Structure 1
Amino acid sequence: MSAENRPNIKLGILDQVYVSEGRSATDALQESTRLAQAVEEMGYSRFWVSEHHSMPALAFSSPEVLIPHLAAATSRIRVGSGGIMLPHYSAYKVAENFRLLEALHPGRIDLGLGRAPGGMPLATRALQQDKYVDVNKYPDQVRDLIGYLYNALPEGHPFERLLAAPAISTAPEIWLLGSSGESARIAAELGTSYAFAEFFGTPGGQEATRYYLDRFKPNGLLEDHPRSMIAVLAICAETEEEANRLAKSSDLLFLGIRTGMEMPYLPSVQTAIDYPYTQMDLLVIQQLRQRRIIGTPAQVKEQLLQMGADYSVGEILINTPIHDQKARIRSYELIAEAFGMNEASA
């Protein structure tokens, strides 16, 4: 099926706020703010930030702190977490945080939830110090969180009468995030929206989203129909050659993550070009590239539409780790132009 004959798709942003080589975490946060403002004008639907701990290449670890800053710097785009790693925290406190965000920015807050640790074991130990955490309780935590946000804890619940302040009439959108079939099963059972982290490179994503869509059970409080999306890594430039050149930074970054030689920053293209790759390194990069979308606007649009069809989703979040900030914003601009988003948002 040609791109012209496929249904259109909504596009959003997943920003992991990488600290680029030669720049500071403060620079990265300022760049993220400018990016949010830029993509809002381009017509992107959402701007999500992730939770990772003790990773020097990432400029932050607390989405609930960064979200209000980004929401205050913008006016229309939805802002949210991709996601909050719920097993580390009290469902009650997360509900309070996101109710406050929803009260400050009504109708613009997304609460993406995950059950992964979001960091190395040492960070997990510190986050869970002096606590017993059973990740198998994650579905119960999500149920409690929904109950707090909608004043709907079941009768007999030990915190049935507890208010998750402030008392408001709206609630943030709830999404369960995952890179496995288990998260899809939980999302379908609880009746939440579901987002699959395709850019992780974990196989089984199409099966997971299909399972979710086929077995979705409305819970009476949230959306009454299934809603799914995927997050992908995409890099776009005017020419295929330039897109591949810009992608070398992320090649080296993710090579380090895959091989246990994590870099303290998003390397520049020149650093990536000069790196002494082994044959095994090049094979790993070749494998990683199979999960990436890299090319011209027409090529990127074609692949995004194909992915949307393959995964049966109506929305895609795009993660674009480019070292040069102007080239990064230009990548999103080219994709927006290819999809006609600029005209639609004008």
Structure 2
Amino acid sequence: MGYRLSLLEKSPVDGQEGAAAALQRTLALAQSAERWGFHRFWLSEHHNNPQLAISSPEITIAWILAQTRRIRVGSGGVMLQHYSPFKVAENFNQLASLAPGRVDLGVGKAPGGLPLSTRELQQGIPGADFPARLQQLTNWLLSPAAANEPDSPIVTPVPPEPAERFLLGASVATARLAAESGWQFVFAAQLNGSEEEISSAIGTYHRLSHGRKALLAVPVVVADSKEQAEDLLGPRQQFRLTDAEGHHVSVGSLEQAEAWIRQSGGGPHDIEERPSLVLTGTTAQVHRQLATLQARYGIDEFVIDTPISNATARLASLTALASGYDVLSGATL
């Protein structure tokens, strides 16, 4: 049985080249993904990180939509805790009006950076918990005008076809929130590779979402051999920090964990190493692993993350992955 492939792009900066060159590569990759028959091309949001070139996925989405023809383009995702739900709805209604039927709105709970950048992003933003913000955003997207009140605000423009809505996360709680809010769910296995938690979250979503299927975001490295793919990947760790109030955040190294604690003012934090799920091997080996995950979790679409910073190696890995993918039927060859 076939499955769809989509891409998650962070626009990594290779060496000393600068963000402009990284973004040009991102555009070229989007155009290649369209030729390969990939379904979606998503752009991540990261702040205060000179190694990644996208802090505003909305701007980058518009640029890529203008230079592609068919592939869906979206955010993977907007970090909603930083922004007005009204403004996010306006942004994605604008994009969906520019390219009807091709825009995805992916929303994430993570901050997309360390506490100091979060502090700057949230200046003047009134506090609200994430489920409340998501509900506000849902209401604005589904009902552009407030409830028949005089002089009520209206989200404009109103697109002929709204953006598809996705909630990204790596927990059962986020899966439940997606189902209850009417959003599609994407389990981010690059943040949590626990088979038990993936199964539990996806199973919860399928049970509560009345027939909708989750997507699975998974890191992939393809090379001429599994050994070469492992060498390209290098050491990979994920950690979850939990503060005294029970708030969680995922980071990719102990150095990031220490920086997070320092920037958030210290205090007690638990640091837990999380399992990492990365598919490595030849084209055939990786597609067999994807087929196994499809059968195990009952999903039809993978969002591919490529955890390689070297530009040449990243492109070679994705080209090799695409060579085993039937661009017409969305099936493995």
Aligned to 1:3: none
| Equivalent AA in structure 2 for residue 169 of structure 1 | P
1:18 aligns with 2:12: yes
Distance 1:141 1:132 in 2: 11
* Pairwise CA distance, 1:160: 8.9
| Equivalent AA in structure 2 for residue 124 of structure 1 | T
CA RMSD of aligned residues (A): 2.6
In terms of mean alpha carbon deviation, does 113-122 or 139-148 score higher? 139-148
Identity rate, percent: 37
Compare the two structures and name the one with the higher strand fraction.
Answer: 2
Aligned residues: 303
Does the aligned pair in 2 maintain the 1:191–1:226 contact within 8 Å? no
Distance 1:185 1:331 in 2: 34
1:76 aligns with 2:65: no
Q: Identify unmatched segments of 5+ residues in structure 1.
A: 1-6, 218-224, 263-283
Distance 1:311 1:159 in 2: 48
In terms of mean alpha carbon deviation, does 9-18 or 253-262 score higher? 253-262
Distance 2:172 2:323 in 1: 34
Aligned to 2:266: none
- 2:302 corresponds to which of 282, 302, 316: 316
Aligned to 2:103: 109
Partner-residue secondary structure (3-state), 1:101: helix
Once the two structures are superposed, residues 136-176 of structure 1 have per-residue CA deviations (whole angstroms, 9 ceiling, x without a partner) of xx2333233233223366747x7994221113321000001
1:331 aligns with 2:322: no
Give the TM-score of the pair, scaled to structure 2.
Answer: 0.83
1:66 aligns with 2:60: yes
Aligned to 2:186: 195
Distance 2:115 2:151 in 1: 34
Aligned to 2:202: 209
Aligned to 1:269: none
Aligned to 2:48: 54
1:239 aligns with 2:225: yes
* Pairwise CA distance, 1:228: 1.2
Aligned to 2:132: 140
Distance 2:35 2:158 in 1: 32
- 1:260 corresponds to which of 255, 263, 266: 255
Distance 2:17 2:35 in 1: 26
Compare the two structures and name the one with the higher helix fraction.
Answer: 1
Distance 2:329 2:73 in 1: 22
Does the aligned pair in 1 maintain the 2:191–2:238 contact within 8 Å? no
Does the aligned pair in 2 maintain the 1:20–1:28 contact within 8 Å? yes
Spell out structure 1 runs of 4+ moving beyond 6 A. Answer: 252-256, 342-345
| Equivalent AA in structure 2 for residue 200 of structure 1 | L
Does the aligned pair in 2 maintain the 1:192–1:226 contact within 8 Å? no
Distance 2:151 2:38 in 1: 38
Distance 1:312 1:160 in 2: 47
